[in-house]
Amino acid sequence: MADMLYGLEGLNLTPQEINKVIYHRQNLVSPLMQDGVPVTIYATGIQIPTGKNKGKFVSVPGYVNGKIVDDEKELWNIWKQDIQANKWPIYNSSKELNNRDRWLHQIMEKDMQQEEENLFASPFQSTIR
């Protein structure tokens, strides 16, 4: 997808949530294949251990450098600077995080379907009727 913001207008996403969609779209080119399913972000919620947002929840990519990371401490260490710079979405509760991630997952699923359709679309249109 050439335009990383394509189709996001009117979806009521925060800039931080848009960052997650962009991360996903950047990885559509060469996703990790796990059990036949492409992984582009592996959104993971972690509780912030320190700082002004201590105790809140942040959704970060768990797909990092070609592998899945699901350890909260490791993800905190990987994304700490970005979290503190307000790059990833921060929520007051895990329930709020999970609800928003479900919504974002629907958007990303549509991207995957579109990529699959583009991959298998014929470059030639039949004129036979």
Confidence tier at 78 by pLDDT (50, 70, 90): very high
9-43 pLDDT tens trace = 888 899 999 999 999 999 988 889 998 888 999 99
- How high is the pLDDT of residue 6? 75
Q: Phi-psi category of 50—alpha, beta or left, where left has phi over 0 and alpha has psi -120 to 50?
A: beta
- How high is the pLDDT of residue 3? 77
84-119 pLDDT tens trace = 999 999 999 999 999 999 999 999 999 888 877 776
Distances (CA, A) of 116 to 13, 33, 36: 24, 14, 13
